[in-house]
Chains A and B, each alone.
Chain A
Amino acid sequence: MQKDKVSIAKLIEDNKKKNRYKQGLIEKAVPIFLFITALISILTTIGIVFTLLFETVTFFDRVKILDFITSKEWFPFFEQDPKFGIAPLISGTLLIALIAMLVAIPIGLAAAIYLSEYASDNVRRVVKPILEVLAGIPTIVYGFFALTFVTPLLQKIIPGLSFFNALSPGIVIGIMIIPMIASLSEDAMSAVPRAMREGALALGSTKLEVSLKVVLPAALSGIIASFVLGISRAIGETMIVTIAGGSSPNLTFNPTEAVQTMTAYIVQVSLGDASFGSTIYYSIYAVGMTLFVFTLIMNLIAQFISKRFREEY
C-alpha cells in the first residue's frame, strides 16, 4: 500500500514534467482562441450595422430625411411622386406589438405565477416542456392560424372587420409569445430563494400576497427582461403580419383596419421585383435601420428599468 502511494506520486510528477511544455502552450492558446471567437461575433454585428448604415445613407441622398420622419404617407410604389414617410409603418408595427403584449403579458405572467407558486411538481414537469414546444412552432404556422382561423372568428364577433387587419395577427403574435414570457418569468420566479417565501408566510401572508408582493418584485428584473424580449419579438415578427395583416400602410391605431409593419414592407419589397439600386431597393435599408433603432431603444429602456427595479438578494 505504502509502496503504491509513493510510486503514484512519482508517476504524477513524471507526467507533469513531460506535459509541462504542452500544458503551458494550451493555457496560452485557449484565451487567444476564445478571444477570436468573441471577436468574430462582434465584427459581424459591426459589419451588419455598417452595411445598413451605408445603404441608408444612399437612400437619404434621394429622399430627404425630414420627409422620411415627418411625412405621414408611405406610397413608395407610386410612379410619380412616391411618398416615403415612415410613420404609417411605425404605427402599424407598434399597434401590432401593443396588441400582442396586451395578450401575452397578462396571460404569460399569470401562467408563470401559477407554475412557480401554485403548481405541483408533477404539473410543472408536464407543462414546462409543452411551453417550450409551443415556443418552437414555426411562425408561418401561426400566420395561417391567424388568417384561416382567428380572422374568420373575429369577423363573426366584430361585424365589418376587414379580412386583413391588425387585430388578428396582433392576437396571434401575443399567443406565440406567451410561452416565452411564461417560461422566462417562471425561471426568474423559481430562482427566488425559498427562505424569502417562508419569511413572508411566517408573517401571516396568504399565498397570493407572497406571490405578488415578495416573489414578483424579487424576480422583477428577470420578468421585465422577458417582457422586453417579447416586445422585441413582436416588433421583429414578420411572417404572421405579412400573411394576416395586409399590406396597406395606414397611419392608424384602429386595430380593425389593415396595416403594414416595417418587417412586412421589407418582405414585400424583397419578394417583388424592385431593381437593384432603385430608391425602393434602398428604402428597405432605411426601414431596417429604423427597426434596428427601435429594438435598440427597447433594449436600453429594458436595461434601465431592470437596473432601477432590481432587488438584490
Chain B
Amino acid sequence: MISTTNKNKQAEPNNKKLQKPNVFEAKGFNLWYGEDQALKNIDFDIAENNVTAIIGPSGCGKSTFLKSLNRMVELVPTVKMAGEIQYRGKNILSSKFGVEELRTKVGMVFQKPNPFPKSIYENVAYGPRIHGIRDKVTLDQIVETSLKGAAIWDEVKDRLHENAYGLSGGQQQRLCIARCLAIEPDVILMDEPTSALDPISTLKVEELVQQLKQNFSIVIVTHNMQQAARISDKTAFFLSGELVEYNDTDVIFSNPRDNRTEDYITGRFG
C-alpha cells in the first residue's frame, strides 16, 4: 500500500549483515515513453557484489528500469526521465556523465543472445579493442580469461576463429557474458538472460551468475520466480511501474510484507 516508502524496509535487512556499499541509488526516478509513464517514483538501492533480482508481471517496467541503469533506454527517442540515478555517487542522468564511460562500467546481457557476426575470438576482443587495447598477447589473454570466466572456454577453445553463430543458443549467451566480462565492468545487467534458453543451458547460466557475483555486482530481470529465489540475494517486485517491495530474497519469498507481492509470488496473478 505504501509502496514508495520502502526505504525503511530496506534498512532492516541491511543492518543484519555487514553493510555493503551501493553501486546504484535511484531516488525518485520517473520515466515516460511519450505520454505514458512507465516508471513511477522509484527509490532503489543496489548493493555491491550482490545478485539483485527484479521480478514482476510482463509490462511492469522491469526492462525499462534495467535499461535506465546504463541509459540504453535513451535509444527510444520519446523517452523522458526525471529524478536521479546515482552510480557510485554520481548522477548518471546529468548531462555531464559520459554515456560511453557508464556503459564501459555497467555491462549488459540481453534477453536474446546477440553476438556479433564475427568469430568467437573477435566477439570477445571487440570491447577491449574499441577501448584501445591493440596488443595481440594482451588480447589473447583477455579472450581466454573472459571465456573461462563465462564457463565456456572448454567448449570453444579449439574453434575460437569460427563464427559465433555456429554456437548453440546457450553457448551464444555465455559468449555474450564473456564479451561483457572482457572489459571488466563493475556491474552486469541481465535482462531475462535465460528466457530463450533450454533448461540445461539455463542451469549453466544460473551457476555462472553465482560465480560472477564474487567479482561483479549483478542485476538480473527475470519473470521466473524460482530463478530469482535460487540465485539472488535481494529481490525487487515491480508492478505497473512501481517498486512495490524490495527486500532480502528469502524474506520476499517466505514472508512478503505487501499483499500484492504475496499474490504475485503465490501465482494469484501475473
Report A's interface with B, CB cutoff 8 A: 193, 195-196, 198-206, 209, 213-214, 217-218, 311-313
Report A-chain residues with C-beta under 8 Å of the C-beta of B183: 203-204
For this complex, 30 residue pairs linking A to B, each with C-beta atoms less than 8 Å apart, are: A195-B110, A195-B112, A195-B114, A196-B117, A198-B110, A199-B110, A199-B115, A199-B176, A199-B179, A200-B126, A201-B75, A201-B103, A202-B72, A202-B108, A202-B180, A203-B103, A203-B104, A203-B127, A203-B183, A204-B102, A204-B103, A204-B127, A204-B130, A205-B100, A206-B100, A218-B116, A311-B117, A312-B163, A313-B117, A313-B165
The answer to whether residues A203 and B165 also contact, given A196-B114, A198-B114 and a CB cut-off of 8 A, is no
CB nearest to A192 among chain B residues: B117
Report B-chain residues with C-beta under 8 Å of the C-beta of A193: 114
Q: How many A-B residue pairs have CB under 8 A?
A: 69
Report A-chain residues with C-beta under 8 Å of the C-beta of B103: 201-204
List the 6 closest pairs (A to B, CB-CB), nearest first.
A311-B117, A204-B104, A313-B117, A195-B114, A202-B108, A204-B103
CB nearest to B101 among chain A residues: A204
CB nearest to B183 among chain A residues: A203
A218 vs B165: C-alpha distance when bound (angstroms): 12
Report B-chain residues with C-beta under 8 Å of the C-beta of A203: 103-104, 107, 126-127, 130, 179-180, 183
How many Å from the CB of B133 to the closest CB on chain A? 13
Chain B interface residue count: which class?
Answer: 20 to 34
CB nearest to B179 among chain A residues: A203
The answer to whether residues A202 and B117 also contact, given A213-B126, A311-B163, A312-B165 and a CB cut-off of 8 A, is no
Chain B residues 202-236 with CB under 8 Å of chain A are none
Does chain A have a CB within 8 A of B16? Answer: no
Report B-chain residues with C-beta under 8 Å of the C-beta of A311: 116-118, 163
Report B-chain residues with C-beta under 8 Å of the C-beta of A201: 72, 75, 103
Are A198 and B176 interface neighbours, CB within 8 A? no
Are A312 and B179 interface neighbours, CB within 8 A? no
CB nearest to A311 among chain B residues: B117
A289 vs B24: C-alpha distance when bound (angstroms): 70
Are A198 and B72 interface neighbours, CB within 8 A? yes
Report A-chain residues with C-beta under 8 Å of the C-beta of B126: 200, 203, 213-214
Chain B residues 84-119 with CB under 8 Å of chain A are 100-104, 107-108, 110, 112, 114-118
Are A199 and B104 interface neighbours, CB within 8 A? no
A209 vs B110: C-alpha distance when bound (angstroms): 20
Report B-chain residues with C-beta under 8 Å of the C-beta of A199: 110, 114-116, 176, 179
A203 vs B108: C-alpha distance when bound (angstroms): 8
Given contact pairs A195-B110, A218-B116, a sample of 6 additional A-B residue pairs in the complex whose CB atoms are under 8 Å apart: A193-B114, A199-B176, A199-B179, A200-B126, A312-B117, A312-B163
A311 vs B129: C-alpha distance when bound (angstroms): 19
Select one of A198, A202, A213, A218 contacting B107, CB under 8 A.
A202
Chain B residues 65-85 with CB under 8 Å of chain A are 70, 72, 75
Are A204 and B114 interface neighbours, CB within 8 A? no
Interface centre among B100, B104, B165 (most CB of A within 10 A): B100
How many Å from the CB of B192 to the closest CB on chain A? 14
A196 vs B165: C-alpha distance when bound (angstroms): 12
How many Å from the CB of B103 to the closest CB on chain A? 4
A79 vs B114: C-alpha distance when bound (angstroms): 70
CB nearest to B123 among chain A residues: A199
Does chain A have a CB within 8 A of B136? Answer: no
Report A-chain residues with C-beta under 8 Å of the C-beta of B127: 203-204
A214 vs B164: C-alpha distance when bound (angstroms): 14
Report B-chain residues with C-beta under 8 Å of the C-beta of A202: 70, 72, 103, 107-108, 110, 180
